[in-house]
Amino acid sequence: MSFLSKIVREPLVHFVLIGAGVFGLYALVAGEDEDSARDTIVVTDGRVQQLAQVFTKTWQRPPSQDELRGLIDAYVKEEVYYREALKRGLDRDDTLIRRRMQQKMEFVTEPSDELLQPSDETLRAYLNENKTKFRVEPKIAFDQVFLNPNKPGEAAVRAAQTLELLRTTRSDAKSADVGDPTLLPDQLALSSLSGVARSFGDAFAANLTDLPENEWAGPIKSPYGLHLVRVTERVEGYDPELADIRDAVLQKWRTETRDAFQAQAYDDLLAQYEVVLPGVREPPRQTEAAP
């Protein structure tokens, strides 16, 4: 495709032309000023292009003549109301507008990209100071045999019998062959303790820590019933190296850096003001209800 035909196909160019046409037409239809005291609303070519661009970016096609005219009409209407509202002071004391302005200021005072690109040393130092936040949890893998308290027979008694059976004659038995059916997994691959808690509850997960390895033990109680458990693997928790968790550290560091930067930016702005408060007094105490 030739360079020129690319340009001719460039929507931006179309908008300049369409925009100029529509605007010309608009000026004709709207007529000349009759009253010199009237304010002027100038719809620039650039504005028309912007309206058309936003439309194109949304619908993935340029607006038709009618649509563009509609966009311009809507823009003029918005501008008229906007100006009239400002004249009447409607922008003041409007919670939504005030908070949106605050939000925009906070966006504008974002730290620059360079400030958010820390060196490895900075990150390593940050990680050192915040080890606990990044600590990798201990992990555990186990097999379990379930005893349903709703089945006939005292679950605790059946648990003791089953444990005896597993320990003596059938230590290699699949848990499917003994115990009661359950939707809970009979083998759990290496999982963090919080992952175990998600499926089996907190108390169950906490009770796993004392169990011996490669040996059936229990029963341990869960919200579902009793479980005989054979821990098959344990991995201790540890503090990971920066290289292993760089993204996570970077993200936390950035959040904190941003917050600190915002706080500083606000303090700087605040310093430009003298804030006069009414006489500070204690909020009225809640009186105790009479007995």
Partner 1 sequence: MSNRFVSLPAAAVAALIVALPAAAEEPQSVQTDAGTINPAKVERFFNQPGYSPYAGRSFPTRPLFGEIHLHTSWSPDAIAGGTRVGPDEALQYAKGAEITSSTGQQVKLSRPYDFMMVADHSDALGVMSGVLEGDPSLMTDPKLKEWHEGMKAGGDKATAVVMEMITLQGQGKVPKPMTDPNIQFDYWRKMTEIVEGHNDPGRFTALIGYEWTSNYGGGNNLHRNIVYRDGKEMADQVRPLTTFDTEIPNELWDWMAAYEEKTGGRVLAVPHNGNLSNGLMFATETPDGKPIDAQWAEERARWEPLYEVTQSKGTSEQHPKLAPSDEFANFEIWDKYNLAGVPKEPGMIEYEYARQALKRGLKLEDELGTNPFKFGLIGSTDDHTGVSSTEENNFWGKFPASEPGPERSTGNAFDFDGNTVKDWQLGASGLTAVWAPENTRASIWDAMKRKEVYGTTGPRMFVRFFGGWDFDEGDAQRRDPGTVGYGKGVPMGGDLPPAPEGAEAPSFLVAALKDPISGNLDRIQIIKGWVDANGEMQEKIYDVVWSGDREPDADGKVPLIGSTVDVEKATWTNTIGAPELITVWQDPDFDPSLKAFYYARVIEIPTPRWTAYDAAYFKEANFSADVPMSVTERAYTSPIWYTPQG
Residues of this chain that interact with partner 1 (CB under 8 A) are: 7, 10, 12-13, 16-17, 20, 44-47, 49-50, 53-55, 57-61, 74, 95-96, 99-100, 103-104, 107-108, 110, 150, 176, 181-186, 194, 197-202, 222-225, 251, 255, 286
- Distance of closest approach, residue 200 Cβ to partner 1, in angstroms: 6
- Distance of closest approach, residue 186 Cβ to partner 1, in angstroms: 7
Q: Rank residues 198 and 212 by Cβ distance to partner 1 and give the closer one.
A: 198
Q: Are 71 and 30 in contact (CB under 8 A)?
A: no
Distance CA 159, CA 218 (A): 8
Q: Rank residues 209 and 212 by Cβ distance to partner 1 and give the closer one.
A: 209
| Residues forming a β-bridge with 213 | 231
Q: Are 22 and 72 in contact (CB under 8 A)?
A: yes
- Distance of closest approach, residue 7 Cβ to partner 1, in angstroms: 5
Distance CA 186, CA 192 (A): 17
Count Cβ atoms below 10 Å from residue 275 Cβ, excluding itself: 5
Q: Rank residues 145 and 166 by Cβ distance to partner 1 and give the closer one.
A: 145
Q: Are 221 and 204 in contact (CB under 8 A)?
A: yes
- Distance of closest approach, residue 34 Cβ to partner 1, in angstroms: 26
**Which two three-digit tokens encode residue 245?**
């968790």
Q: Rank residues 58 and 168 by Cβ distance to partner 1 and give the closer one.
A: 58
DSSP string, 146-198: EE-TTSSS-HHHHHHHHHHHHHHT-TT--TTTSS---SS-SEEEEEEHHHHHH
Q: Rank residues 6 and 279 by Cβ distance to partner 1 and give the closer one.
A: 6
Q: Rank residues 132 and 168 by Cβ distance to partner 1 and give the closer one.
A: 132
- Distance of closest approach, residue 167 Cβ to partner 1, in angstroms: 22
- Distance of closest approach, residue 125 Cβ to partner 1, in angstroms: 22
